[in-house]
Structure 1
Amino acid sequence: MLAATRNPQSDLRQRFLAAKREQKLRNRDAAVAIGVSEGEALAACVGAEAIRLQPNFVEIFEEVPQLGAVMALTRNDNVVHEKDGVYEKMSHNGHVGLALGAAIDLRIFYKQWHFGCAVIEEVTRGSETSLQKSLQFYDLHGEAVHKVFLREHSNHAAFDELVVRWRDPQQLPGITVEPAPPAAIDKADAEIDGDGFRAAWSNMQDTHEFFGLLRDFGVSRTQALRLAPPQFVRRLDNGAARLILDQAAASGLPIMVFVGNRGMIQIHSGPVANIKLMGPWLNVLDPGFNLHLREDKIVSSWVVSKPTRDGAVTSLELFDADGGTIAMLFGVRKPGQPELPAWRATAINLPLLQSETEVQA
């Protein structure tokens, strides 16, 4: 008698669902618990809870406005950014896209997108169980790029039509992923043209020039901050994020919160109000905007000033142990307008890292 053939994808799905059910874990945490990426776990559910979509990501995503009011979610390892609203003013140029809605504001890098699926799963909240519909997109490493969750008041018929239209004919479970590249190692400071770099920083006319400056001089963001003209950067105590959110909530100061990963940047613009610390998580729990930030993963915090035609633009920038950007905060502003004086005053008065205070003393 022949032994039954094991199905690795079916086994993976069962282990994933068991971890969710028995340990009451969210999808990402359940995937980590069984030693795979979230994208691999969701792909194992194709044919059941997940429907594989064709890799026509630009075309699919530009139909998302038809879903009406939904929740947009973008995250990286250390922060989750959730925003309710309608996808509006969608556009793309090659592999780069924009959504410039009043609530949902995105910078999209489709070249990093690898796998997309529609997920229809039962979720339990309190004593009630309901069906949760979402569109979920993952990169080549199986990491979540972006998710779109339908609310009760969303256009569910449009979702169903979109899924039928973009359903991949091949509904076999599983995807192939590649290991994430190791964190880049900075060049020695002595190898950098420090004088040229500082002159280029001082002569910036637009904040977007900063990305070209990093490329041209071969520096990472954190190395750039260390080498910057000292009048433009100050290293802060790592409690700065909590302090500035508390102060913004107390004063009503409108802020911008940028959270991104390889394939997406999502931006909140407006006030924040309900700031809660829950264990290691620093949270904003407002109607229409939730932020969940692992405060214990912040390894360095900087207040940064970049010259522009509209005057200096000031940011609070948070980094992890690998020098990766966790989040960036700005005062609300539009191109062509100077930044809010109240934001600048709040940011530049955040407490310095103790060693920085000693240096300045």
Structure 2
Amino acid sequence: METSTLQSTNLKEAWAKLKETEPQLRIRDAAKKLQVSEAELLATGIGENVIRLSDDFVDQVKKFPTLGRVMALCRNEGCVLEHKGSFQKIDIHPAGPSSIATVIGPIEQRLFFHGWKFGFAVSNDTPRGPMFSLQYFDKAGEAVMKVFLQEKSDYDASEALVQAHTATEQSAELEIEAYETPEYTSREALDYDTFQNEWENMKDTHDFFGMLRKHKLNRLDAVKWIDDKWAYEVDKLSVRKVLETASATKLPIMIFAGNKGNIQIHQGPVRTIKQLNQWLNVMDPDFNMHLNEDMVDSAYVVHKNTDDGLVSALELFDAQGEMVAQFFGLRKPGIPQKPEWKALLDTL
């Protein structure tokens, strides 16, 4: 599906009308109402407050440390993670369009560039003043990452980045492509004995992904079908207790949330937990989480074997079986998880 010039003009007008009636509506929600992707809606601003970036995304990300202190945002349909800090250390491997970047520091991410298709530099006027951001989207027009400059960011560096990576063609026409629904193994077709044996004999949590690929398993099916010793369903609002207990006892945790092109990771304590309607929020100075509990369809406690002992998580899934977020006790490779974390999950 391609947005024609006429379509983008009509879309721009439709969005302008929508903003008149709902001035507080966020662009993601406006896109849903107008039945287009967020990237298509954002692209209607090209030539005004939006600049289309070239697709050399790896080279752009390599320059992120020059921006200084920023706010990095990663989201999916049910969960948003926002971290303030710098892109301290970025390792890219291997070379090419299927590269993965490991981002370490105050901002912790795993970037999967095969999931990046469009990039934009965006200048907005907000009630708090001008706001500049770099925004990246997948082939379906869904946001994979946004980087917002802050008061102490290096605006000269951001200008240099945009100048070096402005696309030659400043067109609002985007080739949007839906993702195909993957085909997964059925319960009947699964070699269950091999699957269970491989789960029980994992050496590292990363072995899990290889096991899913080998058996062509959907992640939710895997945790549903494995023996209760390794995974079992809990109340879908269990995350409230986990966050409130972690806050009260100062238990450091890890939160993972992501999409097709990015996984963002929080490591450390959570302090201020606030419920606002269906949104469960962490509102700390340099870290915010916004979890839409209406999007959480099921929750599971999941245990995996590693050379460092058991690693346990609370995993949240939406109605489509997609991962919304994962919660772990904070640990480093070579160090067992804290017994307090396992004890907390055992109470769910």
* Correspondence 1:137 to 2:136: yes
State the 1:87 CA deviation: 0.5
Q: CA deviation at 1:347?
A: 1.3
**TM-score, length basis structure 1:** 0.91
Pair 96,343 (structure 1): closer, same or farther in 2 beyond 3 Å: farther
Q: Distance in 2 between matches of 1:119 and 1:312?
A: 44
What amino acid is aligned across from residue 117 of structure 1 in structure 2?
Answer: F
Q: Which moved more, 1:161-170 or 1:96-105?
A: 96-105
Q: What code does the residue aligned with 2:99 have?
A: V
2:229 is paired with a residue whose SS is helix
- Structure 2, unaligned runs of 5 or more: none
Task: Give the partner amino acid of 1:71.
Answer: M
Output the TM-score relative to the length of structure 2: 0.94
1:124 offset after TM fit, Å? 1.6
Q: Which residue in the other structure is 1:359 paired with?
A: none
1:243–1:139 CA distance, 2 compared to 1 (3 A)? same
Which of 218, 221, 230 is the aligned partner of 2:219? 221
2:213 pairs with 1:210: no
Alignment of 1:101 onto 2:100: no
Contact (CA 8 Å) 1:282, 1:295: kept in 2 or not?
A: yes
Q: Quick one: which of 253, 256, 259 aligns to 2:257?
A: 259
CA contact (8 A) 1:202 1:229 kept: no
Q: Is the 8 A contact 2:40 2:172 kept in 1?
A: no
For the pair 1:58 / 2:58, whether they are aligned, the reply is yes
Report the CA distance shift for 1:169/1:100 in structure 2 as closer, same or farther (over 3 A): closer
In structure 2, the residue matched to 1:43 is 43
Identical positions, percent: 41
Structure 1 counterpart of 2:70, one-letter code: V
> Counterpart of 1:107 in 2: which secondary structure?
strand
CA deviation after TM superposition for structure 1 residue 180, in Å: 3.5
The answer on whether the counterparts of 2:89 and 2:105 sit within 8 Å (CA) in structure 1 is no
Which secondary structure does the structure 2 equivalent of 1:168 belong to?
coil
AA aligned to 1:88 is Q
User: How far 1:92 sits from its partner (Å)?
Assistant: 0.9
The residue correspondences of 1:98-247 to structure 2 (distance < 5 A) are 98-125=101-128, 130-182=129-181, 184=182, 186-247=184-245
Is contact 2:185–2:215 with CA below 8 Å preserved after alignment?
A: no
Q: 1:181: how far off?
A: 3.0
1:76 aligns to what? 76
User: Match of 2:25?
Assistant: 25
- CA deviation string 1:65-119 (max 9, x = no partner): 1000000000001111111110021121132333433311110100110000100
Change (3 A) 1:21 1:124: farther
Show CA shifts across 1:15-73 (max 9, x none). Answer: 22443453111111111121111011112211111101110000001101100000000
Distance 2:267 2:7 in 1: 44
2-side partners of 1:77 and 1:235: how far apart?
Answer: 21
Distance 1:122 1:18 in 2: 18
Contact 1:88 1:99 in 2 (8 A): no
- Post-superposition Cα deviations, 1:199-243, rounded to whole Å, max 9, x if no partner, equal 000010000000010111121111111221321112101111111
How big is the shift at 1:158? 0.7
Q: Do 1:273 and 1:286's aligned partners in 2 also have CA atoms closer than 8 Å?
A: yes
Superposed displacement of residue 321, structure 1: 0.5
Q: Distance in 2 between matches of 1:242 and 1:185?
A: 33
Distance 1:16 1:147 in 2: 21
Output the CA distance in 2 between the equivalents of 1:201 and 1:46: 49
Q: Deviations over 1:117-155 (max 9, x none)?
A: 100111124xxxx11100000000000010000011111
Question: Is the radius of gyration larger for structure 1 or structure 2?
Answer: 1
- For 1:112, give the aligned amino acid: G
Asked if the contact 2:85/2:107 (under 8 Å) is kept, the reply is yes
Change (3 A) 1:71 1:280: same
* Preserved contact between residue 186 and residue 223 of structure 1 (Cα < 8 Å): no
Could you tell me whether the CA contact under 8 Å between 2:254 and 2:266 is conserved in 1? yes
Alpha-carbon distance in structure 2 between the residues aligned to 1:58 and 1:185: 30
Equivalenced residues, count:
340
The Cα offsets for residues 285-340 of structure 1, whole Å up to 9 and x where unpaired, read as 11111111111221111111100001110111000011100000101111111111
Shift of residue 186, structure 1, vs aligned partner: 4.5
Return the letter of the residue paired with 2:177.
E
Q: Distance in 1 between matches of 2:53 and 2:184?
A: 38
Aligned to 1:347: 345
Residue 265 of structure 1 aligns to a residue in which SS? strand
**Aligned equivalents of 1:8 and 1:177: distance in 2?**
13
Give, as a single letter, the amino acid of the residue that structure 1 aligns with 2:103: L
- From 271, 274, 277, the equivalent of 1:276 is 274
**Partners in 2 of 1:276 and 1:109 — Cα distance?**
31
Q: Secondary structure at the match of 2:332?
A: coil
